[in-house]
Chain A
């Protein structure tokens, strides 16, 4: 059970992010989560979408290099300490996080969703399940 994150290569120049989102907007692709890692010369945009196939096709047509990576998406209670609870699980199992970010959710919901990029995907998922934390699948993304 995993979620496919799409990573996109962008040059670190004015307007590049705008051009990329324009391509997604034109084809009606809605992003559910996004994070941006930047260096002096380039950036990596990572996004979570409902329809991975559609989004990667659109990006490819637009001339963007993209790559799919499995990430763990966990459901947490949207209350103070919610994230800390999950991080304790990872810390306790000695699971290293490469990076993490949040998904956008309905503000009336009492749930929040976090995306984790870990080296050992299976171990992280098992640890969360053991701790009684819900791990979200790609199919679930559209329903969040």
Chain B
């Protein structure tokens, strides 16, 4: 039977949720107007005052916020409460541009931990469970966020943090850990390591995992579920909005429920900035309606995805967001077609390759050329040219089916794709437009 952490809200009617959202939004706009001069100036420039915002229907009148606003207000220009009321900060890794520093009051931490607790219970957690948190602890939100959620549920919480794979496996076995929280790539790595040690899913006490903080595909989910013998749940969030738990997956594993009593989601056209009707694909925008220390109004996530209000069999009524299919800043337009690197990753994994690839786009005689370099793997290599080219042709066909345009695939030597600071450079766009 489906279990809930806060059934009253998680299964509330649409009217009840709207009621909560309307009240909180009006209050939050006042709070921001009075306490965050930077956003007040944006509102004044847009000709909006708190009196114009009477309900969620008026949300579209408010100006957007983006990474640019965060850069301009670094380090504390968006602080919404006196500094003495701040009890915690977190910070992003800062791989793209400047770091973001997010501030939390005690109330902000409480609501965030509630969100994480909802995710854990949706993944099957009860107070009998042992939760191993293998996200990094520290400035990164993953570790402390799920830690807080796990303690709220009453689980025995193992604050492993990331790294030291041998010790991770030892604790899972010795403490009978039943739920693990980490990045999906680390989960895959753990699974491989356990397999190498000769462990089968039967020897691994884990039953579920909550994996987030990076993009992962359905194929990756299947492979993690098989190697670890668990059910793998997705979780969504960003430091700007608190951290993981903005949205979470239920047993249906079909989209993530957005915690609508704390966050209002909109889908906009990233070009025209217009709000799109329900069910459209576009950029996800969030307004945090009760976070006080670091309020985010209409924050553009750059994630491209879709929302669905279709009834979920788990009983939760929160709107569901699909796994983001890419970021609006990652999207490439090749020969007029939208291409997301994540789509290519999906096809590669489906065809037995690893997701080590590089997209090279150029323009020759006014036509875009589209090359994908894919690293050869020991599994895909044979002594026979015809076997390799057959697999290569199947991959190219798979890419055409997924993307709608043809790409030239070149197989390259392992580890030949340039990595800077550990992150691979996925796209090289040589077009001079």
Q: What is the interface of chain A, defined by CB distance below 8 A to chain B?
A: 5, 7, 9-11, 16, 37, 39, 41-42, 44, 46, 63-67, 69, 98, 117
Residues in B with CB closer than 8 Å to A117 are 383
Given A7-B381, A7-B382, A65-B381, also A41-B413 (CB < 8 A): no
B389 → chain A closest CB, angstroms: 6
Q: Would A9 and B389 be within 8 Å (CB), given that A65-B381, A69-B383, A98-B384 are in contact?
A: no
The answer to whether A65 and B382 have CB atoms under 8 Å apart is no
- Across the interface, do B385 and A65 meet the contact criterion of CB distance under 8 Å? no
Which residues of B pack against A, CB within 8 Å? Answer: 376-378, 381-385, 388-389, 410-416
Q: Verify A44–B411 contact, CB threshold 8 A.
A: no
Give the number of A-B contacts (CB < 8 Å).
49
Cβ contact of B412, chosen from A5, A11, A39, cutoff 8 A: A11
Pair B384/A9 contact, Cβ less than 8 Å: no
Further contacts, 10 of them, CB under 8 A, given A42-B411, A44-B384, A98-B384: A7-B383, A39-B385, A42-B376, A42-B388, A44-B383, A44-B385, A44-B388, A65-B413, A67-B381, A69-B382
Distance (Å) between the CB of B293 and the closest chain A CB?
49
How far does the Cβ of B369 sit from chain A's closest Cβ, in whole Å?
A: 15
Distance in angstroms between the alpha carbons of A34 and B371 in the assembled complex: 31
Taking CB as reference atom, which chain A residue is nearest B375? A65
Chain A, Cβ-Cβ closest to B413: A11
Question: Are B413 and A63 closer than 8 Å at their CB atoms?
Answer: yes
The complex places the Cα of A66 from the Cα of B376 at a distance, in Å, of 11
Question: Nearest A residue to B376 by beta-carbon distance?
Answer: A9
Q: Given the complex, which residues of B lie within 8 Å of A46, measured CB to CB?
A: 383
Task: Give the docked Cα–Cα distance between A76 and B163 (Å).
Answer: 58
Cα A64 to Cα B411 with chains together (Å): 14
A-B contact pairs, 25 of them (CB 8 A): A7-B381, A7-B382, A9-B376, A9-B381, A9-B411, A11-B416, A16-B413, A39-B385, A39-B389, A41-B411, A42-B388, A42-B412, A44-B383, A44-B384, A44-B388, A63-B413, A65-B376, A65-B377, A65-B381, A65-B413, A67-B381, A67-B382, A67-B383, A98-B384, A117-B383
